[in-house]
Chain A
Amino acid sequence: MMANEKITIDNGFDVERIRADFPILSKKIRGKDLVWLDSASSAQKPLSVIEDMDKVYREFYANVHRGVYKFSQETTILVESSRATVAKFLNSNSDKEIIFTRNATEAINLVASSWGNKFLKSGDEVIISSLEHHANIVPWHFLRENLGIEIKVIPLLENGDLDMDAYKSMLSDKVKMVACTQMSNAIGTIVDVKEIISLAKEHGAKTLIDGSQAVVHLDVDVSDLDCDFYVFTGHKLYGPSGVGVLYGKFDILNSMPPYQGGGEMIETVAFDKITYKEAPYRFEAGTPAIVEIIGLKSAIEYMNGFCKKDIREHEDYLLNLAITEMAKIDGVNIIANPSNRAGLVSFTIDNIHPHDIATIFDQMGIAVRAGQHCAEPLLNLLGVKATVRASFGIYNNKQDVDALITAIHKTIKIFG
Chain B
Amino acid sequence: MNYKELLMNFELMDDWEDKYQYLIDLGKQLPVMPEELKIDANIVKGCMSRVWLDIQSNQDALSIRADSDAHIVRGLIAILLILFNNKTKSEILNINIDEVFLEIGLNEHLSPNRRNGFLAMIDRIKNY
Are the CB atoms of B70 and A356 closer together than 8 Å?
A: yes
Are the CB atoms of B48 and A355 closer together than 8 Å?
A: yes
Residues of A within 8 A of B85 (CB): none
Are the CB atoms of B47 and A356 closer together than 8 Å?
A: no
* Chain B contacts with A in 5-38, Cβ cutoff 8 A: 16-17, 20-21, 24
State the total of A-B contacts with C-beta under 8 angstroms. Answer: 42
Residues of B within 8 A of A138 (CB): none
State how many angstroms separate the Cβ of A73 from the closest Cβ of chain B: 41
A57 within 8 A of B: no
A399 within 8 A of B: no
Residues of B within 8 A of A371 (CB): 47-48
Are the CB atoms of B47 and A372 closer together than 8 Å?
A: yes
State how many angstroms separate the Cβ of A360 from the closest Cβ of chain B: 7
Total interface residues in chain B, CB < 8 Å: 14
Are the CB atoms of A414 and B17 closer together than 8 Å?
A: yes
- Residue ID in chain A nearest B70 by CB atoms: A353
How far is A415 from B71 in the complex, measured between Cα atoms in Å? Answer: 8
Residues of B within 8 A of A354 (CB): 48-49
Known: A354-B48, A356-B72, A386-B49. A30 touches B21 (CB 8 A): no
Residues of B within 8 A of A209 (CB): none
Are the CB atoms of B70 and A414 closer together than 8 Å?
A: no
- Residue ID in chain B nearest A371 by CB atoms: B48
A interface bracket (residues with beta carbon within 8 Å of B) = 10 to 19
Residues of A within 8 A of B21 (CB): 414
How far is A415 from B24 in the complex, measured between Cα atoms in Å? Answer: 7
Are the CB atoms of B71 and A385 closer together than 8 Å?
A: no
B73 within 8 A of A: yes
Are the CB atoms of A359 and B72 closer together than 8 Å?
A: yes
A interface footprint on B85-96 (CB within 8 Å = 1, 0 otherwise):
000000000000
Residues of B within 8 A of A355 (CB): 48-49, 70, 72-73, 116
Known: A370-B48, A371-B47. A363 touches B71 (CB 8 A): no
Most buried by B among A353, A354, A355, A386: A355
B98 within 8 A of A: no
How far is A352 from B73 in the complex, measured between Cα atoms in Å? Answer: 12
How far is A352 from B21 in the complex, measured between Cα atoms in Å? Answer: 14
A358 within 8 A of B: yes
Are the CB atoms of A353 and B16 closer together than 8 Å?
A: no
Residues of B within 8 A of A372 (CB): 47
Are the CB atoms of A358 and B48 closer together than 8 Å?
A: yes
Residues of B within 8 A of A414 (CB): 17, 20-21, 24
A interface footprint on B37-80 (CB within 8 Å = 1, 0 otherwise):
00000000001110000000000000000000111110000000
* Chain B contacts with A in 81-128, Cβ cutoff 8 A: 116
Interface residues, chain A, with chain B CB atoms under 8 Å away: 30, 352-356, 358-360, 363, 370-372, 385-386, 414-415
Interface residues, chain B, with chain A CB atoms under 8 Å away: 16-17, 20-21, 24, 47-49, 69-73, 116
A-B contact pairs, 10 of them (CB 8 A): A353-B49, A353-B73, A354-B49, A355-B48, A355-B49, A355-B70, A355-B73, A356-B24, A386-B49, A414-B21
Q: Which 5 A-B pairs have the closest CB atoms?
A: A353-B70, A355-B48, A355-B49, A371-B48, A355-B70
